[in-house]
Structure 1
Amino acid sequence: MEPSLRVLAVDDEPPALDELAYLLRNDPRVGHVHTAPDATEALRVLRDTEVDAVFLDLRMPGLDGMDLARLLQRFARSPAVVFVTAYDDRAADAFDLGVVDYVRKPVRPERIAESLRRVLAERGHGGERPAPDPAGADVTIPVELGGVVKLLPRSAVCWVEAQGDYARLHTADGSHLVRVSLTQLEERWTEAGFLRIHRSYLVRLDLVTELRLTGSGYVVTVEGHQLPVARRHTRALKDRLIRPAKQHWTA
């Protein structure tokens, strides 16, 4: 089956952006191309849309391409990065960031085709499930607050609530709606200490202060909020919460 990549093209020069988007759309391996004229708009796109790769100009006003690439490394859903630039003086720095390719302008169709081949190779031909985020890395999620895109660290998230195809990230001082499913976050955040306790809830275990049996089943308390625990998730929750505590005190 032909892969269908979702790609974001970012360039502050409209003719260059149009040409790049045109070349990407003409490749049969690309299913959809989003565009952005700067890094700020790119963050807005990434807040609402999951993409497989970002084709990114290096020199832009405000946040430049290198700055944005560093931010992308910390995202909960980190896309592959391809730099598209008229300059070659920062190629070494770019590959230190783990970018997939570094393309010189003017861009040729065959060069874009090669970059897409590298993206597919890096993504396992688009057929693999996403790898869990590193447990020790505080990945970042772009969220919008008052019309401004903010970068929310995962460490600020207390629990996550499913809302259809979206997820609401609850923090100590508010909540943020992001376009990602609870199942995707469960797959990526389990190694970082989050556990699914219900079809609608994913909680950060180190913030659970109480597990209590009520007339309708178990509930947990997280940051003062009570959340239900589904029967099928109860054993896994007890294993993760109670057994380590017993081992600690009996050691």
Structure 2
Amino acid sequence: MRIGLVDDRLMDLEKLKGIVSSVPGVEIVFATQVAEEAYEHIKKKSVDLLIADIEMPNLSGYELADMIHSHALNIAVIFVTANSGYAVHAFELNVHDYIMKPYTRERLIKSIERIMEKNRSSEIAGRLYIKRKNDIHIIQKKDIIFIERSGRSTTIYTKSGPVKTYLTLNELEGELRERDFIRSHRSFIINIHYVKNFSLYAKNSYVVMFDGIAEKAMITKEKIDFLQENYF
């Protein structure tokens, strides 16, 4: 995995270099205090992962991540920052992780290893078998965007369209044990890989919007915190 590092504080940059260089299977392509230099490397798609501070002069880490997101570049981003104020916005940019300074060596290595493991198994394996009257509907798990329970029925929203079933979310949750699926709300299960952004709905809940479909789900503030701690 090719990794780029950017932090305007030399002490923090040296810490990043020391930790990242000890991870087997990685190559540090650049390590710079200048965000503009990191930007030039990103434009050339020379890295698989960018680890960046957020608040830097002239060009911020958030702006670098926004460029990656808006141009749909296949580059993961880890923010390493002393500022917690960007956490929700990081979700909107599909940032892999948001690590608060000061952090431990183990915390950063674990985050990098999660990306490497995700790249090794980039697709969700397996199928979901849905019985409907006399038929069995076969759904590729990787094509499931989210699932909604409404009344006595459940709708599975997939890349090819919705599928109705009477299975409960508890039953479906038992079939979707992959890390990609989380129970975001009592009425929803979401696939985190299709999440486009979160929008505040009420004090303790957010609306979830997805790539490719107009339908929306809900997620609780508690689950937002869980995602931030364990996924991004």
Task: With the length of structure 1 as denominator, give the TM-score of the two structures.
Answer: 0.45
Q: Which has the larger radius of gyration?
A: 1
